[in-house]
Amino acid sequence: MNNYIKSIILTLLFSGTAFGAHYLLSKGLGVYASWAATEYTLEGLYTFMAIGTLVIVVVILLANWSMPKNMGFIFLGLTLIKGIASYIYIQDGLGISEDKFIELNFLAAFFAFLFFDVYMAYRSLNQVENIDS
């Protein structure tokens, strides 16, 4: 199977698993109903993060193919852009509740996807081409 397809499937599996875990944890703690008081949803938050991560994964794979020596700079630039886009996405929800509900849920999702982005960059950098003898 193509490395691009494997990476996209892995990203989708991670996104679904992370969302499911966050959803179940929120339901288990009884705080899922707090989303109704905001203009955000857990589904929307994870969709935004998943799309950002898919873009980063695809660009990293393309950069690894076309200019592998610049992968570090490309990854840092993409991570910076994703961080800025994430702030723009969540800025209206910051500070609206005293219990920091939006901030904590956003940070949990952001760092989960950030760690996954780092893993995918590491995986792409350390991939060894199969050479058939």
Rg over alpha carbons for the chain, rounded to the nearest Å, is 17
- Angle between helix 3-29 and 42-66 (nearest 10): 160
- 3-class SS of residue 2: coil
Whether the pLDDT of residue 133 is over 50: the answer is: no
Quote the DSSP letter at residue 31. Answer: -
pLDDT score, position 84: 95
pLDDT given for residue 118 in this prediction: 93
Instruction: Identify which of 16, 113, 111, 108 has the alpha carbon closest to the alpha carbon of residue 57.
Output: 113
- pLDDT in the model for residue 45: 93
The tokens for 75 are 């990854």
With beta carbons less than 8 A apart as the criterion, state whether 101 and 109 touch: no
Q: In the predicted model, is pLDDT for residue 1 greater than 70?
A: no
pLDDT digits (tens, 9 = 90+) for 36-49: 888 888 999 999 99
Give me 39's structure tokens.
Answer: 């203009």
- pTM, 2 dp: 0.85
pLDDT tens figures, 2-20: 878 888 899 999 999 999 9
